[in-house]
A = this chain, B = another copy of it.
């Protein structure tokens, strides 16, 4: 049982948590840059933040040039904005895109890193802007991780900035901001969070501590399956989804991802299938594949979901996904070629060969 555990993010969870714990904002400086999209104006989160900032006499500016898949260029633009406004700290409000944008800005606002060094931690100095992250979807877990995923348009791929330097100072998790999310923006992030906890358990980097947090996350999300299927969610369901997503974030921060995210990435890039749905398409196949060699962990996962078999799990996912995408023979072969050499493949508890990856694509 060898493991390390580290997560320095101060998490505040619950309704009205920003109002109840405004102290983190004051600690960060006198001038804030709010990084956000449009939804924060609708769900009440932006008002809650500006109210606390105004009450504390903290000046604030808004950067809303966030792209839904943030590019290097958009982050550089945000960093220039932060420099010109002399921002002391960043407050990201929204889903994964504003949060990852803010984490990128926190690094680039104070350091001059050319594109070819942007994803190489050895070139970073510790001069970064502190960030406060406020998720308004229950899925990404970016609020507690050291990763910022950016699109490299030249290389036509997504790359991660990965450094403890960009761990957020604090995360505020208030389920009220997720009330206005529609079905797809609720169900797919929930499946994404579920996937992260499951992948954390079925990872070489897993350990008893992470498994314990991941099982708690799985139980929390699974307790919302009936409400999610009918899409009739109470505040308590919204709260348990956000709690499950937070735990999935703690797991991800530790174990990174596996073949599920690697395969899902191809489906997103080439077929435009949204992230959470793409992972959900791949998840049952990975469970079946792993169960052949390591049935114990898979049984614990099913038990946490109160499911009796892998067939029940496949049925459940099928009910969430409805009509599934069909992959052509060419796509299966092309996606396999891209996926097999990815660096999260060796993370898998049972490492799949290229033939295994191909078989998992066929099972979709």
Using A3-B14, A6-B8, A208-B216 as known contacts, list a sample of 7 further A-B pairs with CB atoms less than 8 Å apart, ordered by residue number in A: A1-B239, A1-B240, A1-B243, A4-B10, A5-B10, A6-B10, A208-B220
A11 CB contacts on chain B under 8 angstroms: 3-6
Name A12-38 residues within 8 Å CB distance of B: 12-15, 17, 20-21
A309 CB contacts on chain B under 8 angstroms: none
For the complex formed, measure the closest distance between the CB of A157 and the CB atoms of chain B, giving whole angstroms.
Answer: 30
Number of interface residues of A (CB under 8 A): 28
How far apart sit A1 and B7, CA to CA, in the bound complex (Å)? Answer: 21
Which residue of B9, B17, B209, B240 is within 8 Å of A2 (Cβ)? B17
A14 CB contacts on chain B under 8 angstroms: 1-3
Residue of B nearest to A167 (CB): B8
A7 CB contacts on chain B under 8 angstroms: 7
How far apart sit A257 and B13, CA to CA, in the bound complex (Å)? Answer: 22
A20 CB contacts on chain B under 8 angstroms: 2
Which residue of B2, B21, B212 is within 8 Å of A13 (Cβ)? B2
A291 CB contacts on chain B under 8 angstroms: none
A80 CB contacts on chain B under 8 angstroms: none
23 A–B contact pairs at CB < 8 A? A1-B14, A1-B240, A1-B243, A2-B13, A2-B14, A2-B17, A3-B11, A3-B13, A4-B12, A5-B11, A5-B13, A6-B9, A6-B10, A8-B8, A13-B209, A208-B216, A208-B220, A208-B243, A209-B216, A209-B247, A212-B213, A212-B216, A213-B213
Given contacts A208-B243, A209-B216, A216-B212, contact A21 B4 (CB under 8 A): yes
A212 CB contacts on chain B under 8 angstroms: 212-213, 216
Q: Mark A204-216, 1 if CB is under 8 A from B, else 0.
A: 0000110011001
